[in-house]
Structure 1
Amino acid sequence: MKEFLLTTCLTVIGTGLYAQTTQAGFAGKITDENSRGVQGASVEVRNESTGFTTKTSTNVNGDYNFKELPLGGPYTLKVSYIGYGEQIRRGFNLNQGDLIRQNISIQNASNVLETVELKGTSTLKNQIENLGAATSVTAKDIAKLPVNGRNFTSLMDLSPLSKGDNIGGQLGSSTNFTIDGMNAKNPTSAGSTTSRSGAPFSISIEAVREFKVVTNQYDVTYGRAGGGTVSAVTKQGTNKTQGSAWVYSRADWLSSPNTIDGKKRTNDFSTYQYGFTLGGPIIKDKLHYFVAWDHLQDTRPLIIADITSTLDEERFRITQDNLNAFVDIGREKYGLSNDRQFGSFDKKRGSDAVFGRIDWQINSSNLLTIRNNFTSDLNKLGLQDNKPITLYESYGNDKNIDNSFLATLRTSVSANVTNELKLQHLYTYQNSSPGDLLPSQNIPRAIVENIVSKVGSNDLKTTAQLGGHRFAQESFKNNVFQLVNNLYYSTDKINYTFGVDLMYTHASSIYGSEVNGRFHFGASDSRTALQNFQDRNAYNYTEKYHW
């Protein structure tokens, strides 16, 4: 099935914008000795760590305004005007949502002997007002807080209205995810990743500078969200070459030597996550890079009717003899593999996240940012079917690939006009396939219902399955193209934002539950369920078509 979706949004508002990135900037008023606004004063901001520099001039009231500045710092604010002494303010760091207001008074040059410098405070924080509750998670929070699995979305729970992907009591599908101000929500799963079996992460936590959870908002500046928005901003390189490397492990020897039912564990139970980051200058004050790689290798036991005692028979509601009979019939009558079909197995999962970003200060008016985020996840035996006992061959594999390419151009058109243009291609792919013991075309399922087993004095019943996983032929592919342009226009009285957001989605999906058919076997008046299974006497057959 192919779907085409085009979404368009045009916004004209006094403050804010539709698809925001940093929401950070400086604003204030420049006055003279008599506290009157100075028109035409030159105001310059510079990020000392990257060399990013932009300028503006004050309006008739002496007001100045910088929008959508790159995060980080320290920033230096410099004010100059003919006939007046230069004023410099240093030491400001910008986080997502910071709007730092600095009112500066300048004096006639005849009254000052040199440039006046004052040091700001890196902890100064003036949040832009949101029409709703918001929780910011800064770079320091991400670095110091323990995160199981190192997925930054786990820290969403720091918001009092968040529980997992659910915000404000709404479904997780009502939560919008953005990275660097652009859509990061998967069209198929309506979540941050494609995975049917829960991919460990959608971006390396080492590539996330900070993020914000905005809830209960009724503001046009945040769209595509019924419950709330998770807005993340990525890291960038600076003039200093620096990096990191890490290894996090849950070693097998740290795990209990016994399973939950007291048996001696024979399978590996470990998780290793390792990677690195590196960032720095290509050309100082001009061109910078940042890269990150994160790898997760998870191995754990997969237990399928591992019966070694009467207690196990009670727990799985089937005797060892009946389970053996079910498997023997499958091999004799239905072509079931001679490979081991129940017991304890190794289940392995491998995931990678690769992030790269380049920031290029083309000139004093233009900053170009190009970044790419790639994730891959292969979850072998990650798809379990819906019956109490599912043989090994019925487990399916889950493969997921996501890639986001984003180009951003910030342009200072004039002293009172700033434009930010963004273009993104988001690609998502999810494929469910049969396990390694079955052909890629998959095979039907055989479900034997109400197998009766005598365990002690009790008659216990259960249902067992062999054959292919019912979803093991589905795949979903999406190509999402998004263009966002925001223009900021400042007048003497009002600051305007004009925004347009165009999104085109091309979805190619194969839905196919039970396309190979499903046979049901049960007890009849004179025959048990296993006997009818041996006689190939199914009481029902179901087949569905993929589309």
Structure 2
Amino acid sequence: MRLQRLFPLLACVLTILVGAPGVAAQNSTTTGQIRGQVLGESGEVVQSAVITARNVDTGLERTGLTDQNGRYVIRLLPPGMYVVRSDVIGFEQRESPPVRVTIGRAAQVNLTLSTQAVELEGITVSADRPPIDVSDGGVTQYVGELEIEDLPALGRDFTDFINLSGLVAPDPGETTGGQFSIAGMRASQTSIQIDGVDANNSFFGENRGGSRIPFVFSLESIKEFQIITNGFDVEHGRFGGGIINVITRGGTNEFEGSLYGNFRNDALTSSPCSPGGTEVTTDYEVQQFSGSLSGPIIQDKAFFLVSLDGQRRREPQLPLTRERFGPDGQRPDPVLFDEMGEYFDVLSDQYGITSPATGYQPFETTNDAITLFGRVDWNFNQDHRLSVRHNYSNFSNDNEWNGNFDFDYGLSRAEEFTDVSNSFVAELQSVLGDNTFNVFRFQFSDEERPRQGKDLRPALTVNLSNGQQARYGGTFASYNNRLDERKFQFVNNFTQVMGNHTLKAGGNFLFTNFFNRFQNFGSQFQGAGEYRFANLEDFRNFRPSSYFRPIQEGGGIPTSEFDVFEWSLYLQDEWQVSPKLTATLGLRYDQQSFRDSPT
């Protein structure tokens, strides 16, 4: 076993923030805060007032006290709508209108208390724009519940909404989501966190599932997310471009449900699908469906949410056909028409391939996905809250085929790609005292990506007349290809408020097991090898002009299984020097070690 340090990182950042007072968000990867100031009618500071924030949907309550300047901060608030109430001897109780709390942000609620009982008609809050949280030194953009619910998403993938940000440059993939580049960095330098834990495929440097899959999480299960291009909270690390910080939905005190369906086929498309130019195919069809159900298990105590998202897609493919060279074909050529017939006869008679001509007819590519999501939240009391969720995704892409590379091969060059992933996450939020907080997270995830060619024999390439080639079999990068990735992750963040100092200490420990089997396709892009024939006569008599086969020294398919351990420790102090000056000092250490040789 060899220990290798790949990128130890020691970072020390000092940021001076000048503006309105307040302490920047702590433990805010999955929660938000409410902060503000409480004053009397004459503008005097109100000290030792009990401030209670109550979630209007779940009944969760968290409390805090105003300090000598009348200021308060209430931490560890799950995103949602909250009512803030003040209680203090000598002043009338005051309650604010509902205010929205979002991840990684602090909502501002200032209260003015009356010393005598009066009939209140209510408090009206109006502003041209949301207040700027000047104590937050990061550059972030927020995509909330309203945008996710109201804006159309053609592919049912929440990552489509990431492109709403001007901070992101899309890097389109095979489906709608693709990858995304942040701050001018490669897409592999973007990290996705869902519910405060890693949601990346470390081997390929992309989000779990990659760009081939329509979606990995049900859109019905996503509540909101942040796009962070830089920030001074030491909890965030292991990224060079930016972080997509996502949280999932939970249930409330009200039973709610949703249903969605979408159907489209070639009859609903403006022009027929024509992947080959003037040759027309039909039978295009896509169905998308989803649903969710949420509600209380115990009022104000325990809640559940389950959701499902699915897709069934059938897409026509048009390979090289004999009819293409027929009298009514796109490229009439009687010589090639006869040679294609002879080519099929040789495949059948000499090479034992049953009905080879059927593989050179239009066929369908499937693109099917199903995701199942479940979450339970339990408020043990005002101080402890447990959230547990599991996400399952199953994707199948049969007869995957690319006309730019596979046109001459027909169906024999197609492959099957599948991706099955699971992610289990538990989070415990604890208020250990008036000024002491802790958040613990655990994740187990695995992802299996087998990729297999339809015909693993070496490709047969035959030169026909007029420069045309006919080809059968072979693989590109799907010769018994398989990638499995399994992860265990532990994260803990401890926060202690000491006067004007807010101290945060934590660690992130990620253990990953990789299994990778991959046959290099070599310079000829043929993982299973290739026989080349100068003409049909040589093909009939099996006289190849050349043979190519990528091999590994010692034989067999290159296979590697290895473990990687990544860990980080960090410490941060946010010092409120004065009501208008906050200093942040952070120290973080990262290390990655290969427990086994990956070669």
TM value normalised by structure 1: 0.85
Code of the aligned partner of 2:150: K
Q: Does 1:162 align with 2:175?
A: no
> What's 2:489 paired with?
482
Matches within 5 A, 1:163-242: 163-164=170-171, 165-195=180-210, 198-215=212-229, 220-242=234-256
**What is the alpha-carbon distance in structure 1 between the residues aligned to residue 110 and residue 538 of structure 2?**
88
Query: Which residue in the other structure is 2:471 paired with?
Result: 464
What is the CA distance between 1:412 and its match in structure 2?
Answer: 1.0
Matched to 1:112, the amino acid is A
Contact 2:459 2:530 in 1 (8 A): yes
Is the alpha carbon distance of 1:490 and 1:323 closer, same or farther for their aligned partners in structure 2, counting shifts above 3 Å?
farther
Asked if residue 327 in structure 1 is aligned to residue 344 in structure 2, the reply is yes
- Distance in 1 (CA, whole Å) between partners of 2:192 and 2:27 is 11
Which blocks of at least 5 consecutive residues in structure 1 are unaligned?
A: 454-458
Q: CA offset at residue 430 of structure 1? A: 0.6
* Partner of residue 52 from structure 1, selected from 49, 60, 71: 60
Equivalent residue in structure 2 for 1:511, among 515, 518, 537: 518
Does the 8 Å CA contact 1:19/1:222 hold for their aligned counterparts? no
Shift of 1:332: 2.6
**Matched residue, 2:373:** 355
Secondary structure of 1:535's aligned partner: coil
Q: 1:397-442 deviations in whole A, cap 9, x for unaligned?
A: 111011111111111111111211111112111111233xx5xxxx
Give the Å deviation of 1:258: 4.1
| Structure-1 residue corresponding to 2:590 | none
User: Which position in structure 1 is the counterpart of 2:432?
Assistant: 413
Structural mapping, 1:109-508, within 5 Å: 111-112=116-117, 118=123, 125-126=130-131, 128=133, 131=137, 133-160=139-166, 161-164=168-171, 165-195=180-210, 198-215=212-229, 220-255=234-269, 258-260=272-274, 261-263=277-279, 265=281, 267-310=282-325, 314=331, 319-338=336-355, 340-382=358-400, 384=402, 386-435=405-454, 438=455, 443-448=456-461, 451-453=463-465, 459-462=466-469, 464-468=471-475, 470-508=477-515
Deviation at 1:481, TM superposition (A): 1.2
SS at match of 1:478: strand
Change beyond 3 A, Cα 1:6–1:335: farther
Measured in 1, the distance between the counterparts of 2:319 and 2:515 equals 35
Match of 1:42 among 35, 50, 65: 50
Q: 1:530 to 1:99 in 2, by over 3 A?
A: farther
Q: Is contact 1:18-1:220 (8 Å) kept?
A: no
Tell me if 1:89 matches 2:89: no
Partner of 1:68, secondary structure, is strand
The percent identity for this pair of structures is: 23
In 2, are the aligned partners of 1:23 and 1:96 still within 8 Å (CA)?
yes
Conserved in 2, the CA contact under 8 Å of 1:474 and 1:512? yes
Q: Could you tell me the TM-score, scaled by structure 2's length?
A: 0.78
Q: What secondary structure is seen at the aligned counterpart in 1 of 2:519?
A: coil
Show CA shifts across 1:141-188 (max 9, x none): 222222221111112221223214222332221111111222111123
Q: Distance in 2 between matches of 1:363 and 1:418?
A: 15
Aligned residues: 524
Task: Quote the residue 2:76 is aligned against.
Answer: 68
Does the 8 Å CA contact 1:18/1:499 hold for their aligned counterparts?
Answer: no
Distance 1:139 1:211 in 2: 9
User: Per the alignment, do residues 411 and 312 of structure 1 end up closer, same or farther by CA in structure 2, a change over 3 Å counting?
Assistant: farther
Which residue matches 1:456? none
Describe the shift of the 1:42–1:211 C-alpha distance in structure 2 as closer, same or farther (beyond 3 A): same
- Check the 8 A contact 1:4/1:506 in 2, yes or no: no
Secondary structure of 2:201 counterpart: coil
Q: Provide the C-alpha distance between the structure 2 equivalents of 1:113 and 1:313, rounded to a whole number of angstroms.
A: 86
Gap change, CA 1:10 and 1:282, over 3 Å in 2 = farther
8 Å Cα contact 1:131-1:217 kept in structure 2: yes
Q: Which piece of structure 1 moves more, 305-314 or 534-543?
A: 305-314
Please list the CA deviations of residues 60-118 of structure 1 after superposition, one character each: whole Å capped at 9, or x if unmatched.
44332122311111x1111112343322213112233431122334454xx33678964
Q: Pick closer, same or farther for the CA change 1:507–1:140 going to 2, 3 Å.
A: same
Letter in 1 for 2:170: K
* Cα deviation code 1:122-150 (max 9, x no counterpart): 99844656655433222222222222211
Take 1:419 and 1:115, find their aligned partners in 2: how far apart are those partners? 38
Q: Deviations over 1:293-352 (max 9, x none)?
A: 011000111221135344966599x93333333333233333323251112012222210
**Aligned residues: CA RMSD:** 3.4
Report the CA distance shift for 1:121/1:328 in structure 2 as closer, same or farther (over 3 A). Answer: farther
**CA distance in structure 2 between the aligned counterparts of 1:5 and 1:422, rounded to whole angstroms:** 26
Q: Secondary structure at the match of 1:222?
A: coil
Change (3 A) 1:128 1:369: farther
